[in-house]
């Protein structure tokens, strides 16, 4: 069978479009896996994409040494790429679960996949150039390459990752590469020496990876169970994050992207500390804003105050808030607080919500994840705190969780100092949560600035007395599991190894807080 130029040209251009999409998908896939296991998504994406581009350059350079049998070489590269890419996610999960050499194996996969991708585009371009001018070849190859990259960039976060997860997605991308090899080998078999054999090999591998997709949920369950150790009772991948809930006896734990968010055995220590100090420094409780806290545990504590009329909860991921509203384990832990008619849920970015909001609140409670990347770091900046100050009424108080003053001392005091640029007297306090260790919070607001500033010597003493006296008037106070009048004063005291560090202010343009946090994370890892 002879193939005319008219038949060859569109097949090869379609192949360019698809292999370009696969290349971007591999970059996003490996970046996501590293972010999930290692945190700091900005760093992982930057390193992965940077290394990919480097090794694509290596592959492109090496392609000049390939001079014969370009068609067969292209198909062989596609087969090898499909196999390596298809097993990449499973292999990296295995490495993380059973080995201490994740960085090495991740680097190897990036190097191999990047180099193979770098090889294939120049080879295809040289084949196409036989049937068109150089000018037309370069224009069309790069056009289809970029269009394919765009399609993959949209498809990955919106469809592949949330619906298939990383292991199935890797197998699927591998199958796509193998299908390109199969189709080209079959289509051009009359002008290839080994076209039929390459087509059969590709078809067999497609079947193997198809079986892999079928068994992917079991593979994923087994590997994640090894990583988390405690029994996994719920997990899902959304377009924003990977959510896992585990159980050991009566202890339930929530993990987001591999980082623990709470343990049911001691979460009350954290949430009572986060909520009740600022709520008893604010003079009214009519309308409360919660940023983060989609599990409903902060809301549970807020709704203990009878004068609360409205609570606005802002959490990016609807999967978390839906879990907190409907899952029996969560509704029991949060006292079904998320279904209270006073609670209104906004599934959107906290920064964007505050930017467009004109609401004024009696208290703002910030229960966001630690600032391990710039996306989260912007929610701990002076600019963000200035916007929040404009959303507080004249008697309002805000509080933020601020990571550990022991494990991340500079990061913690950076939050304190940044709030101090907006409010006159930020109130630093801490408590001990066994699951996390010593944990820090920072409160600030107009009542703290004006009510307690006149006596700086007894500032903390007056704060503690005020919190205790107001808390004792609340009917629920005797039923709190952690806070009492003896504990509150100790929370305002910092031992020598927790003492204040000199830090820079966290600004959107510098994101110094993320640097402090990641330096601490690297030290303790």
Q: 5-227 domain in CATH 1.20.1250?
A: yes
Assign 451 a pLDDT band (cuts: 50, 70, 90): confident
Using DSSP bridges, classify how beta strands 427-433 and 392-401 pair: parallel, antiparallel or unpaired: unpaired
**DSSP-assigned beta bridge partners for residue 255:** 244, 260
What pLDDT, on a 0 to 100 scale, did the predictor assign at position 456?
65
Domain range list for the chain:
5-227, 264-524
Percent of the chain with pLDDT over 90: 78
Q: Rounded mean pLDDT of the chain?
A: 93
Contacts made by residues 149-158, CB under 8 angstroms, sequence distance 24+: 149/20, 149/21, 149/23, 149/24, 151/17, 151/21, 152/20, 152/21, 152/22, 152/23, 152/24, 152/25, 152/28, 153/24, 153/28, 155/21, 155/25, 156/24, 156/25, 156/28, 156/29, 157/28, 157/239, 158/239
**DSSP-assigned beta bridge partners for residue 289:** 312, 364
Q: How do residues 242-291 score in pLDDT, each as one tens digit?
A: 999 999 999 999 999 888 999 999 999 999 999 999 999 999 999 999 99
Active site residue 367: yes
Q: How do residues 19-58 score in pLDDT, each as one tens digit?
A: 999 999 999 999 999 988 887 787 889 999 999 999 999 9
Q: Which residue has the tokens 């070849």?
A: 137
Is the Cβ–Cβ distance between 261 and 40 less than 8 Å?
no
What pLDDT, on a 0 to 100 scale, did the predictor assign at position 1?
39
Which is the catalytic residue, given 367, 373, 393, 449? Answer: 367
What pLDDT, on a 0 to 100 scale, did the predictor assign at position 4?
53
At 98, is the secondary structure helix, strand, or coil?
Answer: helix
Is the Cβ–Cβ distance between 198 and 126 less than 8 Å?
no
Percent of the chain with pLDDT over 70: 97
The CATH homologous superfamily to which domain 264-524 belongs is Vaccinia Virus protein VP39 (3.40.50.150)
CA–CA dist 467, 489 (Å, integer):
10
The per-residue DSSP string of 365-384 comes to EEEPPP--SHHHHGGGSHHH
């Amino acid at each position: 069978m002879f193939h005319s130029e008219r038949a060859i040209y569109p097949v090869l251009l379609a192949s360019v479009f698809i292999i370009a999409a696969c290349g971007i998908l591999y970059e996003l896939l490996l970046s996501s896996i590293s972010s999930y296991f290692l945190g700091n998504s900005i760093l992982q994406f930057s390193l992965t994409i940077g290394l990919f581009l480097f090794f694509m350059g290596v592959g492109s350079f090496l392609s000049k040494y390939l001079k014969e049998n370009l068609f067969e070489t292209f198909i062989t590269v596609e087969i090898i790429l499909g196999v390596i890419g298809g097993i990449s996610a499973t292999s990296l999960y295995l490495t993380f679960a059973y080995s201490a050499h994740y960085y090495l194996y991740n680097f190897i996969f990036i190097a191999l996949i990047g180099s193979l991708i770098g090889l294939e585009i120049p080879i295809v371009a040289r084949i196409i150039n036989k049937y068109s001018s150089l000018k037309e070849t370069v224009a069309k190859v790069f056009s289809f390459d970029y269009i394919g990259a765009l399609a993959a960039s949209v498809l990955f976060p919106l469809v592949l990752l949330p619906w298939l997860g990383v292991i199935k997605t890797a197998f699927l991308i591998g199958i796509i590469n193998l299908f390109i090899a199969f189709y080209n080998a079959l289509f051009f078999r009359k002008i290839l020496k080994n076209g039929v054999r390459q087509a059969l090999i590709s078809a067999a591998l497609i079947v193997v990876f198809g079986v892999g997709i079928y068994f992917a949920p079991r593979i994923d369950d087994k590997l994640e169970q090894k990583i988390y150790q405690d029994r996994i009772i719920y997990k899902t991948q959304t377009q924003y994050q990977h959510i896992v809930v585990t159980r050991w006896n009566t202890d339930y734990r929530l993990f987001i992207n591999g980082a623990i968010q709470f343990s049911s055995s001691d979460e009350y220590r954290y949430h009572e500390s986060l909520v009740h100090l600022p709520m008893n420094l604010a003079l009214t409780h009519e309308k409360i804003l919660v940023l983060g806290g989609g599990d409903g545990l902060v809301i549970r504590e807020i709704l203990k105050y009878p004068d609360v009329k409205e609570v606005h909860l802002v959490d990016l991921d609807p999967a978390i808030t839906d879990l907190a509203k409907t899952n029996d384990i969560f509704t029991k832990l949060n006292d079904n607080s998320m279904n209270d008619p006073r609670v209104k849920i906004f599934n959107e970015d906290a920064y964007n919500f505050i930017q467009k909001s004109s609401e004024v609140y009696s208290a703002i409670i910030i229960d966001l994840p630690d600032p391990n990347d710039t996306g989260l770091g912007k929610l701990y900046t002076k600019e963000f705190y200035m916007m929040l100050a404009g959303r507080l009424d004249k008697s309002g108080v805000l509080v933020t969780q601020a990571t550990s003053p022991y494990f991340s001392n500079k990061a913690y005091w950076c939050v304190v100092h940044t709030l101090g640029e907006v409010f006159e007297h930020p109130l630093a306090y801490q408590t001990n949560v066994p699951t996390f260790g010593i944990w820090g919070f920072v409160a600030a607001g107009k009542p703290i600035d004006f009510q307690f500033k006149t006596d700086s010597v007894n500032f903390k003493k007056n704060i503690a007395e005020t919190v205790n006296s107001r808390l004792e008037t609340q009917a629920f106070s005797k039923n709190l599991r952690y806070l009492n009048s003896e504990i509150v004063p100790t929370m305002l005291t910092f031992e020598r190894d927790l003492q204040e560090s000199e830090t820079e202010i966290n600004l959107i343009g510098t994101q110094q807080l993320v640097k402090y946090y990641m330096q601490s994370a690297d030290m303790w890892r």
